[in-house]
């Protein structure tokens, strides 16, 4: 998956270098990502993994995801998680194609987060679905309803400051 992600990154833009680290399993990803950020100066990380189909594997993926979110909060850097669960496709061929598509699409997301944040805002609500055919937007809705609503992991927008606060609020601006 990493090869596809790196290939897509290089096809998408320039002005960056790529560091790479490999770990035995998805539960080893959080600290590896933290070290890429803290020890190798990475501005964003793409964490790729392919958890198995058993309940224990789902739990490992959950623990890894919690750790990846924790790392982001410790470093204020984005980590784009690209997990492909082995039961997401019917056969190995489908799984490989899904893995490639998802890795490529998330590589573009990572690029956009760093260099083209405006593009993500424009895509919000159009139902982009990493690794699958796009789901399209919700017809009844004139504007997006969460953007990546059909994305694996759901869509999300972090709408900003609802108020600069008043008086001496140091957080205001």
Site for a copy of itself in 73-112 (CB under 8 A): 73-74, 76-81, 83-86, 92-93, 95-97, 99-100, 106-107, 109-111
- Find the binder of a copy of itself among 11, 72, 101, 133 (CB under 8 A): 72
Q: CB under 8 Å to 68, separation ≥6 — which residues?
A: 29, 30, 33, 47, 79, 81
Query: What backbone torsions phi and psi does residue 132 show, to the nearest 5 degrees?
Result: -125, 170
Smallest separation, CB 134 to a copy of itself (Å): 13
| Cα gap 52→67, rounded to integer Å | 18
Smallest separation, CB 80 to a copy of itself (Å): 7
Cβ atoms of 86 and 52 closer than 8 Å = yes
Query: What burial class does residue 117 get, using C-beta atoms within 10 Å of its C-beta: 0-12 exposed, 13-18 middle, 19+ buried?
Result: exposed
- Find the binder of a copy of itself among 101, 104, 131, 148 (CB under 8 A): 148
Q: What is the token pair recorded at 167? A: 């008086």
Q: Is 165 in the site for a copy of itself (CB under 8 A)?
A: yes
Task: CB nearer to a copy of itself: give 60 or 134.
Answer: 60
Q: Is 116 in the site for a copy of itself (CB under 8 A)?
A: no
Cβ atoms of 11 and 3 closer than 8 Å = no
Task: CB nearer to a copy of itself: give 133 or 139.
Answer: 139
Smallest separation, CB 79 to a copy of itself (Å): 8
Q: Is 4 in the site for a copy of itself (CB under 8 A)?
A: yes
């Amino acid at each position: 998956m990493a090869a596809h992600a790196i290939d897509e990154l290089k096809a998408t833009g320039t002005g960056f270098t790529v560091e790479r680290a490999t770990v035995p399993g998805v539960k080893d990803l959080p600290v590896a990502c933290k070290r890429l950020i803290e020890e190798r100066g990475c501005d964003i990380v793409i964490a790729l993994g392919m958890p198995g189909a058993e309940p224990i594997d789902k739990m490992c993926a959950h623990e890894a995801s919690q750790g990846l979110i924790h790392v982001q909060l410790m470093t204020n850097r984005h980590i784009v998680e690209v997990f492909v669960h082995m039961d997401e496709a019917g056969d190995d061929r489908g799984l490989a194609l899904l893995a490639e598509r998802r890795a490529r699409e998330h590589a573009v997301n990572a690029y956009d987060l760093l260099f083209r944040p405006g593009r993500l805002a424009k895509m919000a609500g159009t139902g982009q679905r990493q690794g699958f055919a796009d789901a399209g937007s919700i017809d009844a809705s004139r504007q997006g309803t969460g953007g990546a609503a059909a994305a694996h992991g759901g869509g999300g927008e972090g709408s900003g400051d609802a108020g600069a606060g008043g008086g001496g609020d140091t957080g205001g601006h």
